[in-house]
Chains A and B, each alone.
Chain A
Amino acid sequence: MLQISGLNKSYERHQALTDVDLFVPKGVVFGLLGPNGAGKTTLIRIVNQIIEQDSGTVELDGSTLSPEDIRKIGYLPEERGLYKKMKVWDQLIYFSRLKGLSESEAKVQIKGWLDKLEIGGWKDKKIEDLSKGMAQKVQFISTVVHRPSLLILDEPFSGFDPVNAELIKNEILELKEKGTTVILSTHRMESVELLCDHVAMINKSRKILDGTISAVKRSFRPEVFQIALNQLKKDLPQEWTPKLTDENWVFTLPLSGKTPNELLIELMEYGEVVVFKEQVPSIEEIFIHQVQTAADE
């Protein structure tokens, strides 16, 4: 779907992207993670042809990005807004026609979306007369109205109330079912784990991580097990720092070169094993860990 290779971009004083390679497969929700100022917005702006890269290529469906591709992309920027004095209907017509839809096609699409999100009755109202939640729905419609095959959402949930955020989340999943590829740039890690199939992490202008959610998690498995014992047969070593909670002794142990089974056998000598569970990091923990490691270097 989207193939980025060797992308470089520098501004006057700093390097925004350094040799970034990225492949976004068709029909996935792709999480683009990274702290503020890492280069995510620059990357997104290049894909949207708002700015030009210094070097490197961006290919969409196998051919270099061209102005015709604007129609294929739907973009919801982090900084977004609508014309306050314009009516909902006129505004949506304008945005969809700018994306290249014909007027008759735009009308059909807009009507469908307004009905779907239950704001059809508000189409002749000006944006300034709408509640914030309703304006957000209009904003979302303006992003997807031209049926893009690639949807780029930059912090889509910031500024949305929980009800609308849920609604948008479901719409994203529904679009994915229909074959739309979605790039989601966000800080909200819980939504990443819920929505994304694939993640890439950018820090200080470089890509530091890339892969499916499960592969990323697997590669960051710290090989540590959570353990709970009761009915102790002998004292636990002090260096394990066990804590007694609800009659169980709870602690964590690294494998330290052993296999899980070897560790389990060793533990069974101390008492009854009630919990023996590998500690899998959340994407958030991986994210924080990676950023901190980079900062320490």
Chain B
Amino acid sequence: MNKILLVIQREYLARVKKKSFLIATLLTPLIFPAIMGVFVWIALEEKENQSLRIIEVIDETDLFFMESSEQYAFSSSDGDIDAAKKMVLEGERYGFLYIPKMDISQPGGIQYFGLENPSINLVSYLEGALKRKIEDQRLYEQGIDPKVLKEIRTDVSIQSITLGEEGEEKINNATVNYALGFLSGILIYIFIFVYGNQIMQGVIEEKSTRIVEILVSSLKPFQLMMGKIVGIGAVGLTQFLIWVMLIGTLSSVVMGVLGMQMPQQQAMEMASPEFAQASPDSSELASMLEVISGIDFVALVGSFIIYFLGGYLLYGALFAAIGSAVDSPSDAQQFMLPVTIPLIVAYMGLFVFVLQDPTSSTSFWLSIIPLTSPIAMMGRISYGVPFWELALSMGLLIGGFLSTTWLAGKIYRIGILMHGTKPSYKTLWKWIKSSQ
């Protein structure tokens, strides 16, 4: 046991002391905010530099009055098409919208002329505006007053509430649940791949530099393997915890700054829900915050850590076994398939099934089978999972990593002493079966 601790310590310190670890750990949490910051900055710059784009409109139907926006202004004229085109060519106008005489029950023939390809933004803006006008016009022709029409238009958002077994009510928000499931599932997927690979590289390093025979004369191969898996896992956990703390600090700083700039009304809405109900448009944010505050973070983080570690240990043992069987990373490719396929199935399953419908039977099985459950179950947890399913899934996961570790141990202790031979799946099977 003492020797496993020594291995864990060495594996941990050898990685944590590296400069690359420090850089990756400190920079990664900054990358996303930085990228977003750059986008926001570019967008703001663009807005400042952008002059209002004027679009000439020739409307032969006389039905359309285009409302100007922040970006686009419209000037109507009765002039002829050629004159308008000339204005565009000479740069007086950004573009020219031509609405020919038409039957509005079958609109068609509307054209836009410009010097450059219009952005999707502009096209959909124009189409949206025209569509609304045509619809309004047709409703008006049916005898509906535009005023009535304006009053009828409403925004609806459904508040979803789950009823607990004891009748307690919990406000849900599909967006928040989706985001949480998505994030935690992806994190586990990335973690398994990145740190699983590190285990494999580490085993190959010890094997190819021939350190391993010295090591196994001092401790059992199984101790060496477990020490490496646990040590590298601890590195990952450290990195993860530093990220959580950094992101936590960063976002509270950002929130603080944003909070100060937030308009008075919105801030008040967030502070008291009564205000929010008064104006439905901006209540979305407030309700999200309410949902977030209602989530049982202890349970979420707790199960995240269990699946995070369980999944890592399960796959880590397999990565160690692969590393022990080969002489170089390039030889490892042939054995990667049985490891990558279930991981990719879990990853795809998370998007295609679990996040779409967390209670479907596919989602259920994906979150029960140990090879896929670490990723799939995280997609379900924020939606609420019955206790027995969680217990079954976690129990199977523990059983799963015990058996992969046992299997890997058998391959490992023979593999690390084999040099110069390229084993096949058949040889691996023989190693597993052999008692020595």
| A residues lining the B interface (CB < 8 Å) | 12, 45, 48-52, 54, 70, 73, 75-77, 79-86, 94-95, 97-99, 142
Interface of A is mostly: loop
Please state if A82 and B218 are interface contacts (CB–CB under 8 Å): no
Q: Which of B10, B219, B434 contacts A12 (CB 8 A)?
A: B434
Please state if B217 and A49 are interface contacts (CB–CB under 8 Å): yes
Enumerate 28 A-B pairs (CB-CB under 8 Å) in ascending A order: A12-B434, A48-B217, A49-B217, A50-B213, A50-B217, A51-B436, A54-B436, A70-B217, A70-B218, A73-B217, A77-B213, A79-B210, A79-B213, A79-B419, A80-B210, A80-B214, A81-B209, A81-B211, A81-B214, A82-B209, A83-B14, A94-B6, A95-B214, A95-B218, A98-B3, A98-B6, A98-B215, A99-B218
A203 to B246, CA, bound (A): 64
Known contacts A12-B430, A52-B436, A98-B6: A77-B219 contact under CB 8 Å: no
User: Is residue B242 within 8 Å, beta carbon to beta carbon, of the partner chain?
Assistant: no
Residues in chain A near residue B216, CB distance under 8 A: 50
A142 to B211, CA, bound (A): 11
User: Is residue B417 within 8 Å, beta carbon to beta carbon, of the partner chain?
Assistant: yes
Residues in chain B near residue A49, CB distance under 8 A: 217
CB distance from A145 to the nearest CB of B (A): 12
Q: Mark B1-24, 1 if CB is under 8 A from A, else 0.
A: 001001100100010000000000
A45 to B3, CA, bound (A): 20
Nearest opposing residue in chain B for A142, CB measure: B214
A273 to B213, CA, bound (A): 58
Q: Mark B206-232, 1 if CB is under 8 A from A, else 0.
A: 000111011111110000000000000
Nearest opposing residue in chain B for A152, CB measure: B217
Nearest opposing residue in chain A for B209, CB measure: A81
Please state if A77 and B217 are interface contacts (CB–CB under 8 Å): yes
Q: Mark B107-121, 1 if CB is under 8 A from A, else 0.
A: 000000000000000
Please state if A86 and B218 are interface contacts (CB–CB under 8 Å): no
A82 to B419, CA, bound (A): 17
A-B contact count (CB 8 A): 58
Residues in chain A near residue B6, CB distance under 8 A: 94, 97-98
A48 to B10, CA, bound (A): 23
A196 to B10, CA, bound (A): 38
Q: Which 9 A-B pairs have the closest CB atoms?
A: A81-B209, A81-B210, A98-B218, A77-B213, A79-B210, A48-B217, A75-B217, A81-B211, A50-B216
Given contacts A95-B214, A98-B6, 19 further A-B contacts (CB under 8 A): A12-B434, A49-B217, A50-B213, A50-B417, A52-B436, A54-B436, A70-B219, A76-B214, A77-B217, A80-B213, A80-B214, A81-B210, A83-B14, A84-B209, A85-B14, A94-B6, A98-B3, A98-B218, A98-B219
Residues in chain A near residue B430, CB distance under 8 A: 12
Residues in chain B near residue A79, CB distance under 8 A: 210, 213, 419
A48 to B214, CA, bound (A): 10
Nearest opposing residue in chain B for A51, CB measure: B436
| B residues lining the A interface (CB < 8 Å) | 3, 6-7, 10, 14, 205, 209-211, 213-219, 417, 419, 430, 434, 436
Nearest opposing residue in chain A for B211, CB measure: A81
Residues in chain A near residue B217, CB distance under 8 A: 48-50, 70, 73, 75, 77
Residues in chain B near residue A76, CB distance under 8 A: 214
Nearest opposing residue in chain A for B223, CB measure: A98
A79 to B217, CA, bound (A): 13
Residues in chain B near residue A95, CB distance under 8 A: 214, 218
Residues in chain A near residue B219, CB distance under 8 A: 70, 98
Residues in chain A near residue B210, CB distance under 8 A: 77, 79-81
Residues in chain B near residue A142, CB distance under 8 A: 214
Q: Interface centre among B215, B217, B219, by most A CB within 10 Å? A: B217
Residues in chain A near residue B213, CB distance under 8 A: 50, 75, 77, 79-80
A83 to B205, CA, bound (A): 8
CB distance from A50 to the nearest CB of B (A): 5
Residues in chain A near residue B209, CB distance under 8 A: 81-84
Nearest opposing residue in chain A for B435, CB measure: A52
A89 to B215, CA, bound (A): 17
Residues in chain B near residue A51, CB distance under 8 A: 417, 436
Please state if B14 and A86 are interface contacts (CB–CB under 8 Å): yes
Nearest opposing residue in chain B for A82, CB measure: B211
CB distance from B187 to the nearest CB of A (A): 28
Residues in chain B near residue A82, CB distance under 8 A: 209, 211
CB distance from B410 to the nearest CB of A (A): 14
A52 to B7, CA, bound (A): 23
Please state if B214 and A77 are interface contacts (CB–CB under 8 Å): yes
A75 to B430, CA, bound (A): 29
Nearest opposing residue in chain B for A70, CB measure: B218
CB distance from A46 to the nearest CB of B (A): 11
Residues in chain A near residue B211, CB distance under 8 A: 80-83
A73 to B216, CA, bound (A): 13
A75 to B214, CA, bound (A): 7
Nearest opposing residue in chain A for B13, CB measure: A90
CB distance from A198 to the nearest CB of B (A): 23
A69 to B14, CA, bound (A): 29
CB distance from A248 to the nearest CB of B (A): 53
A70 to B3, CA, bound (A): 12
Residues in chain B near residue A12, CB distance under 8 A: 430, 434
Residues in chain B near residue A81, CB distance under 8 A: 209-211, 214
CB distance from B206 to the nearest CB of A (A): 8
A70 to B215, CA, bound (A): 11
Nearest opposing residue in chain B for A143, CB measure: B214
Residues in chain A near residue B218, CB distance under 8 A: 70, 95, 98-99
Nearest opposing residue in chain B for A73, CB measure: B217
CB distance from B205 to the nearest CB of A (A): 8
A94 to B209, CA, bound (A): 17
Nearest opposing residue in chain B for A67, CB measure: B220
